[in-house]
Structure 1
Amino acid sequence: MGTTAAAAPSCGHVPTFYLRRRHLQENGSALSLSRRREKMRSLMMNPRTRNTHSQIRSSNREYLNSPSEFCERTSPGEVKEEITKCYKLIERLGRGVIYLGSSRFDHSHPHYRETLHLGREIANLLGSTTWTGAGPGLMDAATRGALSVNKPVGGFKISREAEQWRSSSSHPYLPHDTYLTCRFFSARKHGLVDAVVRKSTLDRTAVIALPGGIGTLDEIFEVMTLIQLQRLGSDLPVPFLLMNYDNFYTKLLAFMDECEHWGVVSKGEVSSLWKVCNGNPEALRYLEDFYQIPTVKSDFLST
Protein backbone atom coordinates (compact mmCIF):
# COMPACT_ATOMS: atom_id res chain seq x y z
CA MET A 1 0.00 0.00 0.00
CA GLY A 2 1.39 3.43 -0.89
CA THR A 3 2.03 6.16 1.63
CA THR A 4 -0.87 8.56 1.93
CA ALA A 5 -0.21 12.12 3.05
CA ALA A 6 -1.97 13.10 6.24
CA ALA A 7 -4.95 15.35 5.80
CA ALA A 8 -4.39 19.00 6.60
CA PRO A 9 -6.14 20.51 9.60
CA SER A 10 -9.59 21.67 8.50
CA CYS A 11 -9.38 25.10 10.13
CA GLY A 12 -7.18 27.43 12.11
CA HIS A 13 -3.39 27.78 12.04
CA VAL A 14 -1.42 25.27 9.92
CA PRO A 15 1.79 24.31 11.77
CA THR A 16 5.05 24.80 9.89
CA PHE A 17 6.17 21.25 10.63
CA TYR A 18 3.03 19.91 8.90
CA LEU A 19 3.66 21.94 5.76
CA ARG A 20 7.26 20.77 5.60
CA ARG A 21 6.23 17.12 6.10
CA ARG A 22 3.62 17.34 3.32
CA HIS A 23 6.20 18.90 1.03
CA LEU A 24 8.61 16.02 1.59
CA GLN A 25 5.91 13.41 1.13
CA GLU A 26 4.77 14.88 -2.19
CA ASN A 27 8.16 15.63 -3.70
CA GLY A 28 10.40 13.05 -2.06
CA SER A 29 13.21 13.52 0.43
CA ALA A 30 15.92 13.53 -2.26
CA LEU A 31 15.50 17.18 -3.14
CA SER A 32 18.69 19.15 -3.21
CA LEU A 33 19.56 21.36 -0.24
CA SER A 34 19.11 24.52 -2.31
CA ARG A 35 15.67 23.46 -3.50
CA ARG A 36 14.58 22.61 0.06
CA ARG A 37 15.72 26.00 1.29
CA GLU A 38 13.85 27.72 -1.52
CA LYS A 39 10.71 25.79 -0.70
CA MET A 40 10.95 26.64 3.00
CA ARG A 41 11.33 30.34 2.18
CA SER A 42 8.13 30.21 0.13
CA LEU A 43 6.37 28.46 3.00
CA MET A 44 7.44 31.20 5.39
CA MET A 45 5.95 33.81 3.08
CA ASN A 46 2.64 31.99 3.15
CA PRO A 47 0.07 33.90 5.29
CA ARG A 48 -0.75 30.69 7.12
CA THR A 49 2.82 30.40 8.43
CA ARG A 50 3.79 34.08 8.61
CA ASN A 51 2.38 34.56 12.13
CA THR A 52 4.56 31.82 13.56
CA HIS A 53 7.62 33.30 11.86
CA SER A 54 6.80 36.76 13.26
CA GLN A 55 6.47 35.35 16.76
CA ILE A 56 9.92 33.78 16.51
CA ARG A 57 11.48 37.03 15.33
CA SER A 58 9.71 38.97 18.10
CA SER A 59 11.01 36.50 20.69
CA ASN A 60 14.53 36.90 19.36
CA ARG A 61 14.27 40.69 19.56
CA GLU A 62 13.12 40.49 23.18
CA TYR A 63 16.09 38.28 24.05
CA LEU A 64 18.59 40.57 22.34
CA ASN A 65 17.07 43.64 24.02
CA SER A 66 16.97 42.06 27.49
CA PRO A 67 18.83 43.80 30.36
CA SER A 68 22.58 43.54 30.03
CA GLU A 69 22.94 41.96 33.47
CA PHE A 70 21.43 38.73 32.13
CA CYS A 71 23.66 38.61 29.07
CA GLU A 72 26.76 39.37 31.14
CA ARG A 73 26.20 36.34 33.39
CA THR A 74 27.97 34.31 30.75
CA SER A 75 31.22 35.95 31.80
CA PRO A 76 32.87 33.87 34.55
CA GLY A 77 35.52 36.53 34.94
CA GLU A 78 33.02 39.08 36.27
CA VAL A 79 31.59 36.62 38.78
CA LYS A 80 35.10 35.76 39.98
CA GLU A 81 35.93 39.45 40.31
CA GLU A 82 32.86 40.05 42.46
CA ILE A 83 33.65 37.06 44.69
CA THR A 84 37.15 38.45 45.17
CA LYS A 85 35.65 41.78 46.28
CA CYS A 86 33.53 39.90 48.84
CA TYR A 87 36.61 38.17 50.23
CA LYS A 88 38.52 41.45 50.49
CA LEU A 89 35.65 43.07 52.39
CA ILE A 90 35.63 40.17 54.86
CA GLU A 91 39.41 40.40 55.30
CA ARG A 92 39.04 44.09 56.15
CA LEU A 93 36.04 43.89 58.49
CA GLY A 94 36.62 40.43 59.97
CA ARG A 95 34.53 37.29 60.08
CA GLY A 96 31.56 37.05 62.41
CA VAL A 97 27.85 36.28 62.61
CA ILE A 98 25.59 36.20 59.57
CA TYR A 99 21.85 36.82 59.83
CA LEU A 100 19.50 35.32 57.25
CA GLY A 101 15.95 36.61 57.36
CA SER A 102 12.98 38.26 55.73
CA SER A 103 13.19 41.70 54.16
CA ARG A 104 9.44 42.24 54.62
CA PHE A 105 9.04 42.76 58.37
CA ASP A 106 9.21 46.43 59.35
CA HIS A 107 10.03 47.93 62.75
CA SER A 108 6.46 47.44 64.00
CA HIS A 109 6.64 43.65 63.65
CA PRO A 110 7.46 41.65 66.82
CA HIS A 111 10.08 39.61 64.95
CA TYR A 112 11.85 42.84 64.03
CA ARG A 113 12.06 43.82 67.68
CA GLU A 114 13.26 40.33 68.65
CA THR A 115 15.97 40.47 66.02
CA LEU A 116 17.02 43.98 67.05
CA HIS A 117 17.63 42.75 70.61
CA LEU A 118 19.28 39.56 69.45
CA GLY A 119 21.67 41.43 67.16
CA ARG A 120 22.64 43.71 70.00
CA GLU A 121 23.21 40.94 72.52
CA ILE A 122 25.15 38.61 70.23
CA ALA A 123 27.38 41.49 69.11
CA ASN A 124 28.14 42.20 72.76
CA LEU A 125 28.61 38.54 73.61
CA LEU A 126 30.91 37.50 70.77
CA GLY A 127 32.43 40.85 69.84
CA SER A 128 32.45 39.79 66.19
CA THR A 129 31.35 41.57 63.03
CA THR A 130 27.65 41.37 62.26
CA TRP A 131 27.00 40.36 58.64
CA THR A 132 23.69 40.56 56.79
CA GLY A 133 22.31 40.91 53.30
CA ALA A 134 22.35 44.68 53.95
CA GLY A 135 18.66 44.88 53.16
CA PRO A 136 15.49 45.96 54.98
CA GLY A 137 13.39 43.95 57.41
CA LEU A 138 15.12 41.57 59.79
CA MET A 139 18.48 42.22 58.14
CA ASP A 140 18.10 45.86 59.08
CA ALA A 141 17.11 44.91 62.63
CA ALA A 142 20.26 42.83 63.16
CA THR A 143 22.41 45.61 61.71
CA ARG A 144 20.88 48.28 63.92
CA GLY A 145 21.21 46.05 66.97
CA ALA A 146 24.96 45.71 66.46
CA LEU A 147 25.39 49.40 65.70
CA SER A 148 23.56 50.33 68.90
CA VAL A 149 26.48 48.86 70.89
CA ASN A 150 29.16 50.22 68.54
CA LYS A 151 30.12 46.87 67.05
CA PRO A 152 31.31 46.46 63.44
CA VAL A 153 28.83 45.54 60.73
CA GLY A 154 29.16 44.49 57.10
CA GLY A 155 26.84 43.42 54.34
CA PHE A 156 26.46 41.81 50.96
CA LYS A 157 23.57 43.63 49.34
CA ILE A 158 21.68 42.55 46.26
CA SER A 159 20.21 45.24 44.04
CA ARG A 160 16.79 43.55 43.89
CA GLU A 161 15.16 42.73 47.21
CA ALA A 162 11.65 41.41 47.62
CA GLU A 163 10.49 44.68 49.15
CA GLN A 164 11.74 48.28 49.51
CA TRP A 165 15.30 49.21 48.47
CA ARG A 166 14.95 46.44 45.88
CA SER A 167 16.10 48.54 42.91
CA SER A 168 18.79 50.51 44.71
CA SER A 169 22.51 49.77 44.77
CA SER A 170 23.13 51.89 47.87
CA HIS A 171 22.28 51.43 51.54
CA PRO A 172 20.30 54.19 53.28
CA TYR A 173 22.69 54.66 56.20
CA LEU A 174 25.70 52.29 56.17
CA PRO A 175 29.05 53.73 55.03
CA HIS A 176 29.91 52.65 51.49
CA ASP A 177 33.07 50.87 52.61
CA THR A 178 31.17 48.47 54.89
CA TYR A 179 29.03 46.71 52.29
CA LEU A 180 29.16 45.49 48.73
CA THR A 181 26.26 45.56 46.27
CA CYS A 182 26.42 42.26 44.39
CA ARG A 183 25.16 41.76 40.86
CA PHE A 184 25.43 37.99 41.09
CA PHE A 185 23.64 35.87 43.71
CA SER A 186 26.44 33.31 43.56
CA ALA A 187 28.99 35.93 44.63
CA ARG A 188 26.74 37.14 47.44
CA LYS A 189 26.39 33.59 48.76
CA HIS A 190 30.13 33.07 48.62
CA GLY A 191 30.52 36.16 50.78
CA LEU A 192 27.89 35.16 53.32
CA VAL A 193 29.41 31.69 53.71
CA ASP A 194 33.01 32.86 53.92
CA ALA A 195 32.05 35.39 56.60
CA VAL A 196 31.43 32.56 59.12
CA VAL A 197 34.45 30.38 58.36
CA ARG A 198 36.51 29.62 61.48
CA LYS A 199 40.25 29.18 61.07
CA SER A 200 41.21 29.38 64.73
CA THR A 201 39.65 29.19 68.19
CA LEU A 202 39.76 32.99 68.29
CA ASP A 203 37.15 33.16 65.55
CA ARG A 204 33.67 33.48 67.03
CA THR A 205 31.19 33.09 64.23
CA ALA A 206 27.65 31.81 63.83
CA VAL A 207 24.77 31.48 61.38
CA ILE A 208 21.48 32.91 62.65
CA ALA A 209 18.46 31.85 60.59
CA LEU A 210 15.53 34.16 61.27
CA PRO A 211 11.95 33.88 59.98
CA GLY A 212 11.80 34.41 56.24
CA GLY A 213 10.42 33.38 52.89
CA ILE A 214 11.78 31.78 49.74
CA GLY A 215 15.10 33.63 49.68
CA THR A 216 15.75 32.94 53.34
CA LEU A 217 14.90 29.25 52.95
CA ASP A 218 17.22 29.04 49.97
CA GLU A 219 20.09 30.40 52.06
CA ILE A 220 19.21 28.24 55.07
CA PHE A 221 19.25 24.99 53.14
CA GLU A 222 22.38 25.91 51.24
CA VAL A 223 24.27 26.54 54.47
CA MET A 224 22.79 23.37 55.98
CA THR A 225 23.93 21.34 52.96
CA LEU A 226 27.47 22.74 53.18
CA ILE A 227 27.63 21.84 56.87
CA GLN A 228 26.18 18.40 56.19
CA LEU A 229 28.75 17.65 53.47
CA GLN A 230 31.58 19.35 55.40
CA ARG A 231 32.07 21.79 52.54
CA LEU A 232 31.70 25.01 54.50
CA GLY A 233 35.45 25.54 54.32
CA SER A 234 35.77 25.97 58.07
CA ASP A 235 38.48 24.25 60.09
CA LEU A 236 36.30 24.37 63.22
CA PRO A 237 32.56 23.85 63.82
CA VAL A 238 30.24 26.80 63.23
CA PRO A 239 27.06 27.09 65.31
CA PHE A 240 23.89 27.23 63.22
CA LEU A 241 20.81 28.58 65.04
CA LEU A 242 17.26 28.40 63.70
CA MET A 243 15.16 31.07 65.43
CA ASN A 244 11.67 29.60 65.75
CA TYR A 245 9.95 32.82 66.85
CA ASP A 246 6.27 32.22 67.58
CA ASN A 247 6.56 28.68 66.15
CA PHE A 248 7.33 30.16 62.72
CA TYR A 249 9.34 27.11 61.63
CA THR A 250 7.34 24.45 63.48
CA LYS A 251 5.72 23.11 60.29
CA LEU A 252 9.10 23.06 58.54
CA LEU A 253 10.52 21.03 61.42
CA ALA A 254 7.57 18.65 61.14
CA PHE A 255 8.32 18.25 57.45
CA MET A 256 11.95 17.41 58.26
CA ASP A 257 10.66 14.77 60.69
CA GLU A 258 8.56 13.39 57.85
CA CYS A 259 11.71 13.23 55.71
CA GLU A 260 13.25 11.05 58.42
CA HIS A 261 10.18 8.85 58.34
CA TRP A 262 10.56 8.35 54.58
CA GLY A 263 14.27 7.70 54.91
CA VAL A 264 15.51 10.55 52.74
CA VAL A 265 17.52 11.83 55.72
CA SER A 266 18.97 9.77 58.54
CA LYS A 267 17.42 9.79 61.98
CA GLY A 268 18.81 12.69 63.98
CA GLU A 269 20.72 14.03 60.96
CA VAL A 270 18.86 17.33 60.69
CA SER A 271 18.92 18.03 64.42
CA SER A 272 22.69 17.52 64.41
CA LEU A 273 23.16 20.31 61.87
CA TRP A 274 21.46 23.16 63.72
CA LYS A 275 20.13 24.29 67.06
CA VAL A 276 16.44 25.21 67.14
CA CYS A 277 15.83 28.14 69.50
CA ASN A 278 12.35 29.29 70.48
CA GLY A 279 13.57 32.60 71.88
CA ASN A 280 16.56 34.89 72.26
CA PRO A 281 17.58 33.80 75.79
CA GLU A 282 17.91 30.20 74.57
CA ALA A 283 20.09 31.34 71.64
CA LEU A 284 22.37 33.37 73.89
CA ARG A 285 22.80 30.51 76.36
CA TYR A 286 23.67 28.16 73.48
CA LEU A 287 26.36 30.50 72.16
CA GLU A 288 27.76 30.99 75.65
CA ASP A 289 28.09 27.24 76.05
CA PHE A 290 29.42 26.71 72.54
CA TYR A 291 32.24 29.23 72.96
CA GLN A 292 32.62 28.60 76.71
CA ILE A 293 32.01 32.24 77.54
CA PRO A 294 31.47 33.01 81.24
CA THR A 295 27.90 34.10 81.82
CA VAL A 296 27.65 37.83 82.45
CA LYS A 297 24.68 39.87 83.47
CA SER A 298 23.00 41.35 80.40
CA ASP A 299 20.38 44.03 79.95
CA PHE A 300 18.69 41.78 77.43
CA LEU A 301 14.93 41.93 77.60
CA SER A 302 12.83 39.44 75.68
CA THR A 303 9.95 40.95 73.83
Structure 2
Amino acid sequence: MAPDETESRPLQSGPTSTKFRGPIMLRRDRKAESSTTDQRLLDQRGPSDWVHTDPWRVLRIQSEFVEGFGALAEVPRAVTVFGSARISSEHPDYAAGRAIGAALAKAGYAVITGGGPGAMEAVNRGASESGGFSIGLGIELPFEQGLNEWVDLGINFRYFFARKTMFVKYSQAFVCLPGGFGTLDELFEALTLVQTRKVTRFPIVLFGTQYWAGLIDWIRGSLLAEGKVSEPDLELIHVTDSVDEVIRLLEQSNDDAVALDDDLPRTEDLW
Protein backbone atom coordinates (compact mmCIF):
# COMPACT_ATOMS: atom_id res chain seq x y z
CA MET A 1 0.00 0.00 0.00
CA ALA A 2 1.37 3.42 -0.90
CA PRO A 3 2.39 5.47 2.12
CA ASP A 4 0.14 8.36 3.20
CA GLU A 5 1.60 11.52 1.67
CA THR A 6 0.96 13.39 4.90
CA GLU A 7 2.95 10.89 6.94
CA SER A 8 6.50 11.64 8.04
CA ARG A 9 8.67 9.01 6.32
CA PRO A 10 12.43 8.57 5.86
CA LEU A 11 13.76 8.20 2.32
CA GLN A 12 17.33 7.47 3.25
CA SER A 13 19.28 6.85 6.40
CA GLY A 14 22.26 8.62 7.84
CA PRO A 15 22.89 12.24 8.84
CA THR A 16 21.33 13.58 5.61
CA SER A 17 18.07 11.59 5.87
CA THR A 18 15.06 13.22 4.26
CA LYS A 19 11.54 13.27 5.68
CA PHE A 20 8.31 14.57 4.20
CA ARG A 21 5.46 16.16 6.12
CA GLY A 22 2.86 16.57 3.38
CA PRO A 23 4.43 18.96 0.84
CA ILE A 24 7.15 19.98 3.32
CA MET A 25 10.63 18.41 3.05
CA LEU A 26 12.79 18.11 6.17
CA ARG A 27 16.46 17.07 6.29
CA ARG A 28 19.03 16.42 9.00
CA ASP A 29 16.30 15.61 11.54
CA ARG A 30 14.93 19.14 11.58
CA LYS A 31 11.61 19.33 13.45
CA ALA A 32 11.12 15.57 13.24
CA GLU A 33 7.78 14.51 14.69
CA SER A 34 6.79 11.20 16.23
CA SER A 35 3.15 11.31 15.09
CA THR A 36 1.37 11.61 11.76
CA THR A 37 -0.83 14.47 10.57
CA ASP A 38 -3.94 12.26 10.68
CA GLN A 39 -3.15 11.22 14.22
CA ARG A 40 -2.81 14.82 15.35
CA LEU A 41 -6.03 15.77 13.55
CA LEU A 42 -8.12 13.02 15.14
CA ASP A 43 -6.60 13.18 18.59
CA GLN A 44 -9.04 15.08 20.83
CA ARG A 45 -6.47 15.52 23.56
CA GLY A 46 -3.72 18.05 23.83
CA PRO A 47 -3.44 21.85 23.91
CA SER A 48 -5.60 24.18 21.81
CA ASP A 49 -2.78 26.54 20.82
CA TRP A 50 -3.12 25.38 17.21
CA VAL A 51 -6.11 27.71 16.66
CA HIS A 52 -3.73 30.65 17.06
CA THR A 53 -1.05 29.46 14.65
CA ASP A 54 -0.29 31.13 11.32
CA PRO A 55 -1.47 28.22 9.13
CA TRP A 56 -4.86 28.33 10.85
CA ARG A 57 -4.99 32.12 10.43
CA VAL A 58 -4.61 31.62 6.69
CA LEU A 59 -7.89 29.69 6.67
CA ARG A 60 -9.59 32.41 8.67
CA ILE A 61 -8.32 35.03 6.25
CA GLN A 62 -9.56 32.95 3.33
CA SER A 63 -12.97 32.60 4.96
CA GLU A 64 -13.26 36.37 5.37
CA PHE A 65 -12.63 36.93 1.68
CA VAL A 66 -15.08 34.18 0.72
CA GLU A 67 -17.81 35.54 3.00
CA GLY A 68 -17.21 39.12 1.88
CA PHE A 69 -17.19 38.33 -1.83
CA GLY A 70 -20.28 36.15 -1.48
CA ALA A 71 -22.28 38.71 0.49
CA LEU A 72 -21.38 41.72 -1.67
CA ALA A 73 -21.21 40.16 -5.15
CA GLU A 74 -24.69 41.32 -6.16
CA VAL A 75 -24.66 44.71 -4.46
CA PRO A 76 -25.61 47.51 -6.92
CA ARG A 77 -23.23 50.38 -7.62
CA ALA A 78 -22.06 51.72 -4.29
CA VAL A 79 -20.10 54.52 -2.64
CA THR A 80 -18.04 54.08 0.51
CA VAL A 81 -18.22 56.87 3.07
CA PHE A 82 -15.75 57.19 5.94
CA GLY A 83 -15.80 59.44 8.98
CA SER A 84 -15.23 59.64 12.71
CA ALA A 85 -16.89 57.18 15.06
CA ARG A 86 -16.45 59.67 17.90
CA ILE A 87 -19.10 62.26 17.08
CA SER A 88 -22.55 62.49 18.66
CA SER A 89 -25.85 62.73 16.84
CA GLU A 90 -25.90 66.46 17.63
CA HIS A 91 -22.61 67.15 15.85
CA PRO A 92 -22.76 69.05 12.51
CA ASP A 93 -20.81 66.21 10.85
CA TYR A 94 -23.60 63.81 11.81
CA ALA A 95 -26.13 65.95 9.95
CA ALA A 96 -23.76 66.14 6.95
CA GLY A 97 -23.33 62.36 6.95
CA ARG A 98 -27.04 61.82 7.09
CA ALA A 99 -27.58 64.22 4.17
CA ILE A 100 -24.86 62.51 2.12
CA GLY A 101 -26.35 59.07 2.78
CA ALA A 102 -29.79 60.28 1.71
CA ALA A 103 -28.44 61.97 -1.43
CA LEU A 104 -26.50 58.87 -2.47
CA ALA A 105 -29.58 56.69 -1.99
CA LYS A 106 -31.73 59.04 -4.07
CA ALA A 107 -29.07 59.03 -6.79
CA GLY A 108 -29.27 55.24 -6.94
CA TYR A 109 -26.15 54.32 -4.99
CA ALA A 110 -25.86 51.82 -2.16
CA VAL A 111 -23.77 53.19 0.70
CA ILE A 112 -20.97 51.30 2.42
CA THR A 113 -19.51 52.42 5.74
CA GLY A 114 -17.45 50.89 8.52
CA GLY A 115 -20.78 50.12 10.18
CA GLY A 116 -19.93 51.79 13.47
CA PRO A 117 -21.35 54.79 15.36
CA GLY A 118 -20.84 58.50 14.69
CA ALA A 119 -20.48 59.61 11.08
CA MET A 120 -20.80 56.01 9.85
CA GLU A 121 -24.15 55.64 11.59
CA ALA A 122 -25.28 58.96 10.14
CA VAL A 123 -24.56 57.86 6.56
CA ASN A 124 -26.23 54.47 7.05
CA ARG A 125 -29.21 56.21 8.63
CA GLY A 126 -29.58 58.75 5.85
CA ALA A 127 -29.50 56.03 3.21
CA SER A 128 -31.90 53.74 5.08
CA GLU A 129 -34.41 56.53 5.75
CA SER A 130 -34.39 57.37 2.04
CA GLY A 131 -35.06 53.80 0.97
CA GLY A 132 -31.48 53.06 -0.06
CA PHE A 133 -29.32 50.00 0.50
CA SER A 134 -27.28 50.54 3.66
CA ILE A 135 -24.19 48.34 4.15
CA GLY A 136 -21.79 48.17 7.09
CA LEU A 137 -18.41 46.43 7.16
CA GLY A 138 -17.41 46.19 10.79
CA ILE A 139 -14.07 45.29 12.35
CA GLU A 140 -13.14 43.38 15.49
CA LEU A 141 -11.59 45.84 17.97
CA PRO A 142 -10.42 45.58 21.60
CA PHE A 143 -13.25 47.95 22.57
CA GLU A 144 -16.61 46.57 21.48
CA GLN A 145 -18.29 48.69 18.82
CA GLY A 146 -20.88 46.66 16.96
CA LEU A 147 -22.83 47.49 13.82
CA ASN A 148 -25.24 50.39 14.05
CA GLU A 149 -28.98 49.76 13.81
CA TRP A 150 -29.30 51.39 10.36
CA VAL A 151 -27.24 48.73 8.58
CA ASP A 152 -29.27 46.51 6.22
CA LEU A 153 -26.39 44.19 5.29
CA GLY A 154 -23.57 43.82 7.79
CA ILE A 155 -20.32 41.85 7.82
CA ASN A 156 -17.84 41.74 10.67
CA PHE A 157 -14.16 41.26 9.85
CA ARG A 158 -11.19 40.19 11.95
CA TYR A 159 -8.59 41.62 9.57
CA PHE A 160 -8.31 45.20 8.34
CA PHE A 161 -6.78 44.20 5.00
CA ALA A 162 -9.69 41.88 4.12
CA ARG A 163 -12.14 44.63 5.04
CA LYS A 164 -10.22 47.19 2.97
CA THR A 165 -10.42 44.94 -0.06
CA MET A 166 -14.22 44.90 0.21
CA PHE A 167 -14.37 48.69 0.51
CA VAL A 168 -12.39 49.14 -2.69
CA LYS A 169 -13.73 46.23 -4.74
CA TYR A 170 -17.40 47.12 -4.37
CA SER A 171 -17.25 50.94 -4.43
CA GLN A 172 -17.30 53.40 -7.30
CA ALA A 173 -15.98 56.22 -5.11
CA PHE A 174 -14.80 57.19 -1.63
CA VAL A 175 -16.22 60.10 0.34
CA CYS A 176 -14.35 61.08 3.51
CA LEU A 177 -16.08 63.06 6.22
CA PRO A 178 -13.87 64.53 8.95
CA GLY A 179 -12.26 61.65 10.81
CA GLY A 180 -9.19 60.35 12.57
CA PHE A 181 -6.47 57.79 11.89
CA GLY A 182 -8.86 55.23 10.43
CA THR A 183 -10.28 57.72 7.95
CA LEU A 184 -6.79 58.91 7.00
CA ASP A 185 -5.67 55.30 6.56
CA GLU A 186 -8.49 54.59 4.12
CA LEU A 187 -7.99 57.92 2.35
CA PHE A 188 -4.30 57.35 1.61
CA GLU A 189 -4.92 53.71 0.73
CA ALA A 190 -7.40 54.87 -1.92
CA LEU A 191 -5.08 57.61 -3.17
CA THR A 192 -2.21 55.15 -3.50
CA LEU A 193 -4.34 52.67 -5.43
CA VAL A 194 -5.54 55.33 -7.87
CA GLN A 195 -2.11 56.97 -8.21
CA THR A 196 -0.47 53.64 -9.03
CA ARG A 197 -3.38 52.67 -11.31
CA LYS A 198 -4.29 49.61 -9.31
CA VAL A 199 -7.85 50.90 -9.60
CA THR A 200 -9.29 53.27 -12.21
CA ARG A 201 -12.15 55.78 -12.45
CA PHE A 202 -12.32 56.19 -8.68
CA PRO A 203 -13.32 59.65 -7.35
CA ILE A 204 -12.05 60.57 -3.88
CA VAL A 205 -14.00 63.36 -2.21
CA LEU A 206 -13.11 65.08 1.06
CA PHE A 207 -16.17 66.67 2.67
CA GLY A 208 -15.45 69.70 4.86
CA THR A 209 -13.05 72.27 3.40
CA GLN A 210 -12.09 73.79 6.74
CA TYR A 211 -11.27 70.42 8.31
CA TRP A 212 -9.18 69.18 5.38
CA ALA A 213 -7.49 72.50 4.52
CA GLY A 214 -4.40 71.85 6.66
CA LEU A 215 -3.84 68.44 5.08
CA ILE A 216 -4.20 69.82 1.56
CA ASP A 217 -1.81 72.68 2.38
CA TRP A 218 0.75 70.19 3.73
CA ILE A 219 0.46 67.98 0.66
CA ARG A 220 0.93 70.96 -1.63
CA GLY A 221 3.55 72.78 0.46
CA SER A 222 5.66 69.76 1.42
CA LEU A 223 5.00 66.72 -0.76
CA LEU A 224 4.51 68.59 -4.03
CA ALA A 225 7.16 71.23 -3.28
CA GLU A 226 9.79 68.53 -2.64
CA GLY A 227 8.78 66.43 -5.63
CA LYS A 228 7.33 63.58 -3.57
CA VAL A 229 4.10 63.80 -5.58
CA SER A 230 3.25 65.48 -8.87
CA GLU A 231 0.61 68.05 -9.79
CA PRO A 232 -1.71 65.43 -11.38
CA ASP A 233 -1.66 63.53 -8.09
CA LEU A 234 -3.33 66.48 -6.38
CA GLU A 235 -6.09 66.36 -8.98
CA LEU A 236 -7.12 63.00 -7.56
CA ILE A 237 -8.53 64.77 -4.49
CA HIS A 238 -11.76 66.78 -4.56
CA VAL A 239 -12.68 68.95 -1.57
CA THR A 240 -16.17 70.35 -1.06
CA ASP A 241 -18.78 71.49 1.46
CA SER A 242 -21.69 70.73 -0.86
CA VAL A 243 -23.68 67.50 -0.87
CA ASP A 244 -24.88 68.34 -4.38
CA GLU A 245 -21.25 68.69 -5.48
CA VAL A 246 -20.51 65.19 -4.14
CA ILE A 247 -23.24 63.74 -6.35
CA ARG A 248 -22.14 65.85 -9.32
CA LEU A 249 -18.57 64.57 -9.04
CA LEU A 250 -19.79 60.97 -8.93
CA GLU A 251 -22.06 61.40 -11.93
CA GLN A 252 -19.31 63.17 -13.86
CA SER A 253 -16.99 60.26 -13.14
CA ASN A 254 -19.63 57.83 -14.39
CA ASP A 255 -20.07 59.86 -17.59
CA ASP A 256 -16.32 59.91 -18.15
CA ALA A 257 -16.17 56.16 -17.61
CA VAL A 258 -18.94 55.58 -20.17
CA ALA A 259 -17.18 57.83 -22.69
CA LEU A 260 -13.91 55.98 -22.14
CA ASP A 261 -15.63 52.64 -22.65
CA ASP A 262 -17.23 53.92 -25.85
CA ASP A 263 -13.80 54.89 -27.19
CA LEU A 264 -12.40 51.42 -26.58
CA PRO A 265 -12.57 48.92 -29.47
CA ARG A 266 -15.43 46.44 -29.35
CA THR A 267 -14.47 42.84 -28.68
CA GLU A 268 -15.64 41.78 -32.14
CA ASP A 269 -13.37 44.44 -33.72
CA LEU A 270 -10.30 42.81 -32.20
CA TRP A 271 -10.67 39.61 -34.23
Corresponding residue for residue 254 of structure 2: 291
The equivalent position to 2:192 in structure 1, one of 222, 225, 229, is: 225
User: Would you say the 8 A contact 2:88–2:118 is kept in 1?
Assistant: yes
| CA pair 74-214 structure 1, distance change in 2 beyond 3 A | farther
Q: Does residue 1:241 correspond to 2:218, yes or no? A: no
**1:110-121 pair list within 5 angstroms:** 110-121=92-103
**CA distance 1:73–1:117, change in 2 (3 Å):** farther
| 8 Å CA contact 1:93, 1:154 repeated in 2 | no
Partner of 2:110: 129
Q: Which of 222, 226, 243 is the equivalent residue of 1:262?
A: 226
Q: Give the whole-Å Cα distance in 2 for the aligned partners of 1:229 and 1:123.
A: 30
The whole-number CA distance in structure 1 between the counterparts of 2:99 and 2:52 is 39
Q: 2:140 aligns with which of 156, 159, 162?
A: 159
With normalisation by structure 2, the TM-score equals 0.69
1:79 alignment counterpart: 61
Tell me if 1:92 matches 2:59: no
C-alpha distance in 2 between matches for 1:73 and 1:241: 39
One-letter amino acid of the counterpart of residue 193, structure 1: V
CA separation of 1:81 and 1:284: change in aligned 2, threshold 3 A: same
The structure with the largest strand share of the pair is 2
The structure whose Rg is larger is 1
- CA distance in 2 between partners of 1:274 and 1:246 (Å): 12
Task: Give a deviation string over 1:233-278, Cα, whole Å, max 9, x none.
Answer: x5xx1222111x2500100001100211111111x13322121113
Q: Are the counterparts in 2 of residues 103 and 137 from structure 1 also a CA contact under 8 Å?
A: yes
Q: Structure 1 residues 112 and 70, CA, compared in 2 at 3 Å: closer, same or farther?
A: farther
Distance 1:171 1:283, change over 3 A: closer
C-alpha separation between the residues in 2 aligned to 1:210 and 1:68? 41
Aligned pairs (5 A) from 1:1-303: 75-125=57-107, 127-160=108-141, 166-169=143-146, 171-172=148-149, 174-175=151-152, 178-196=153-171, 205-232=172-199, 234=200, 237-243=201-207, 245=208, 247-257=210-220, 258-266=222-230, 268-292=231-255
**1:152 and 1:112 mapped to 2: Cα distance?**
19
Shift of the alpha carbon at 1:137? Answer: 0.8
Shift of the 135–69 alpha-carbon distance from structure 1 to 2, 3 Å rule, reads: farther
- CA distance in structure 2 between the aligned counterparts of 1:286 and 1:80, rounded to whole angstroms: 35
CA deviations 1:107-148 (Å, max 9, x no partner) are 1100110111111012211x1211111111111111001001
Partners of 2:134 and 2:218 lie apart in 1 by: 34
Which of structures 1 and 2 has the larger relative contact order (alpha carbons within 8 angstroms, sep 6+)? 1
Aligned to 1:224, the other structure's residue is in SS state helix
Unpaired segments ≥5 residues, structure 1: 1-66, 197-204, 294-303
Q: 1:289 to 1:129 in 2, by over 3 A?
A: same
Q: Which amino acid aligns with 2:115?
A: A
C-alpha distance in 2 between matches for 1:170 and 1:68: 30
Seq. identity, %: 28
CA contact (8 A) 2:128 2:150 kept: no
What is the Cα deviation at residue 280 of structure 1?
2.0
SS in 2 for 1:241: strand
Coordinate RMSD, CA, aligned: 2.5
SS of 2:205's equivalent? strand
Q: Which amino acid aligns with 2:210?
A: N
In 2: Cα distance, 1:264 partner to 1:109 partner: 36
Change (3 A) 1:122 1:193: same
Give distance in 2, aligned partners of 1:252 and 1:259: 11
